[in-house]
């Protein structure tokens, strides 16, 4: 019964994406709205029982690995050598710029209101992370090409790494300040390095097997087998180290095999993989939208508005400064920041970790954090999807949808 509920939700989300595409908006907006409307806080077709089911979480982890291929296959040495320095610097400026702006704004507000200032740095650590799936969905749907797309794809991988390092460093410091010791320092490098190691471990033999030209069926079987092995290792490791990023595992897996095969073979592999990628994008976005409570929009307050605005300013100005410093094309300087606004999936994961640390020693801070980020996740995501599409459009990289995902192409 739960599986039927999920399949019906998936079908309705696809229909919503098709409808939204008719309005010349990204299909992802339809998937996201469908997730909220059909999730536990809406019609509950995709209920808590579905979201908590073991088979569902296993499927989501598998498809997060699969979606990671869209980023990892762009991390080819020859491409990175041409623009690696620019991407690295811009990633650092937009990430740390966001952390600085959000931390400063909330530090001043909290100091004025008598709220512990350390909470401002928790907000900053959550804010710097970017959820890559929404922007990647737009890249895929509209077949975007150009400097902004070429910068965004590898940046998505680096941004996840920087985000994890900063956030878990902040939480380790806060945990120590509160004398809980619940987040040991050693977990920071482990959360970053373990997903990369697991993905690379499977990616190397997969790459050796994929180098040889094979039929579509054999190629797809090898890629799916690699994803299955990567996700299985990740799920086993998650029992010891909770919070591992499965999309990061998929990135590492595909980055390794992408550097072992030639460009023509890589294109052939990804064309074969497109149907799986299409389904993966819908499920990952549904999983992003289902936990969001749209009722929170009505209760959103000043903190929520400040958070959304400060984060947008940090992302945009940080990306602009980095792109300008590295002499990136004008379109990257002006519009890259707009494509970096999607946020909710990563923000909700980080918020869950932060609340678990704060709720015992500082329950008032936990409530402020949880209420603000939950409301911001709903509002920001709807705005950010439209802003990201507009960023690609203004950069001149948006084309007519090559194929809106459907039952045959998604």
The pLDDT of 76-100, averaged and rounded, is 82
Helix (H, G, I), strand (E, B) or coil at 213: coil
pLDDT: is 227 or 177 the higher one? 227
The pLDDT of 308-327, averaged and rounded, is 94
Other Cβ atoms within 10 Å of 264 Cβ, number: 9
Helix (H, G, I), strand (E, B) or coil at 41: coil
C-alpha span between 334 and 337 (Å, rounded):
7
C-alpha span between 207 and 291 (Å, rounded):
36
**How many helices (H) and strands (E) are present in the chain, helices listed first?**
17, 0
Cα of first residue to Cα of last residue in the chain, in angstroms, is 24
Residue 161 has pLDDT above 50, yes or no: yes
Enumerate residues 6+ apart whose C-beta is below 8 A from 262: 211
Contact in structure between 223 and 280 (CB atoms under 8 Å): no
C-alpha span between 206 and 256 (Å, rounded):
9
Mean pLDDT over the full length of the chain: 84
Enumerate residues 6+ apart whose C-beta is below 8 A from 41: 292, 293, 294, 295
Helix (H, G, I), strand (E, B) or coil at 172: helix
Residue 76 has pLDDT above 90, yes or no: no
Q: Is 113 exposed, middle or buried (0-12, 13-18, 19+ CB in 10 A)?
A: exposed
Q: Is 215 exposed, middle or buried (0-12, 13-18, 19+ CB in 10 A)?
A: exposed
pLDDT: is 398 or 57 the higher one? 57
Q: Which of 240-244, 279-283, 322-326 has the highest average model confidence (pLDDT)?
A: 322-326
Q: In angstroms, what CA-CA distances link 332 with 26, 76, 137, 148?
A: 21, 20, 19, 5
Residue 410 has pLDDT above 50, yes or no: no
Residue 41 has pLDDT above 60, yes or no: yes
- The reported pLDDT for the residue numbered 404 is 42
Residue 68 has pLDDT above 50, yes or no: yes
- The reported pLDDT for the residue numbered 403 is 44
Distance of CA 389 to the CA centre of its chain: 16
- The reported pLDDT for the residue numbered 220 is 93
- The reported pLDDT for the residue numbered 248 is 82
The pLDDT of 60-77, averaged and rounded, is 84
pLDDT: is 400 or 325 the higher one? 325
- The reported pLDDT for the residue numbered 297 is 64
pTM attached to this predicted model: 0.71
Least confident piece of the model among 44-48, 185-189, 350-354, 404-408: 404-408
- The reported pLDDT for the residue numbered 262 is 87
- The reported pLDDT for the residue numbered 181 is 52
The values of phi and psi at residue 41, to 5°, are -90, 0
Helix (H, G, I), strand (E, B) or coil at 256: helix
Contact in structure between 164 and 189 (CB atoms under 8 Å): no
For the chain, what percent of residues have pLDDT higher than 90?
Answer: 37
Q: In angstroms, what CA-CA distances link 161 with 100, 234, 257?
A: 17, 17, 20
The pLDDT of 269-287, averaged and rounded, is 88
pLDDT: is 366 or 95 the higher one? 95
- The reported pLDDT for the residue numbered 107 is 95
- The reported pLDDT for the residue numbered 99 is 95
Distance of CA 217 to the CA centre of its chain: 29
- The reported pLDDT for the residue numbered 405 is 43
What is the band of 332 on the pLDDT scale with cuts at 50, 70, 90? very high
For residue 146, the 8-state DSSP code is: S
C-alpha span between 408 and 100 (Å, rounded):
45
pLDDT: is 358 or 123 the higher one? 123
What digits encode the pLDDT tens for the residues 173-225?
887 777 555 556 666 677 778 888 999 999 999 999 998 888 889 999 999 99
For the chain, what percent of residues have pLDDT higher than 70?
Answer: 90
* Token pair belonging to 44: 């509950």
Task: Assign domain 2-394 to a CATH class.
Answer: mainly alpha
The pLDDT of 287-316, averaged and rounded, is 82
């Amino acid at each position: 019964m739960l599986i039927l509920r999920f399949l019906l939700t998936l079908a309705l989300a696809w229909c919503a994406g098709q409808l939204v595409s008719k309005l010349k908006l990204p299909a992802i907006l339809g998937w996201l709205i469908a997730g909220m409307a059909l999730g536990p806080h809406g019609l509950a077709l995709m209920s808590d029982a579905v979201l908590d089911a073991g088979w569902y979480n296993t499927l989501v982890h598998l498809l997060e690995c699969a979606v990671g291929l869209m980023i990892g296959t762009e991390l080819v040495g020859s491409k990175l050598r041409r623009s690696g320095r620019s991407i690295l610097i811009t990633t650092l400026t937009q990430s740390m710029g966001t952390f600085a702006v959000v931390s400063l704004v909330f530090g001043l507000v909290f100091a004025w209101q008598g709220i512990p200032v350390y909470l401002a740095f928790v907000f900053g650590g959550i804010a710097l992370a970017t959820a890559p799936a929404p922007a990647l969905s737009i890249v895929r749907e509209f077949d975007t090409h150009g400097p902004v797309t070429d910068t965004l794809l590898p940046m998505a991988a680096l941004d996840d790494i920087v985000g994890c390092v900063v956030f878990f460093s902040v939480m380790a410091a806060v945990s120590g300040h509160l004398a809980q010791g619940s987040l040991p320092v050693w977990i920071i490098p482990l959360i970053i390095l373990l997903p990369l190691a697991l993905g690379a471990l499977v990616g190397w033999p997969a790459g050796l097997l994929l180098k040889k030209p094979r039929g579509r069926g054999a190629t797809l079987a090898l890629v799916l087998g690699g994803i299955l092995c990567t996700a299985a290792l990740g799920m086993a490791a998650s029992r010891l180290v909770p919070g591992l990023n499965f999309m990061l595992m998929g990135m590492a897996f595909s980055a390794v095999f992408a550097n072992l095969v030639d460009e023509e073979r890589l294109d052939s592999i990804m064309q074969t993989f497109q149907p799986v990628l299409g389904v993966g994008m819908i499920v990952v976005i549904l999983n992003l939208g289902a936990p969001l409570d749209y009722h929170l929009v009505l209760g959103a307050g000043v903190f929520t508005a400040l958070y959304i605005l400060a984060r947008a300013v940090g992302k945009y100005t940080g990306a602009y400064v980095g792109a300008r410093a590295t002499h990136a094309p004008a379109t990257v300087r002006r519009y890259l920041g707009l494509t970096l606004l999607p946020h909710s999936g990563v923000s909700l994961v980080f918020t869950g970790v932060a609340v678990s640390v704060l709720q015992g020693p500082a329950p008032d801070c936990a409530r402020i954090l949880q209420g603000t980020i939950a409301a911001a996740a709903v509002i920001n995501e709807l705005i950010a999807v439209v802003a990201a599409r507009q960023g690609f459009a203004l950069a001149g990289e948006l084309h007519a949808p090559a194929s809106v995902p459907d039952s045959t192409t998604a």
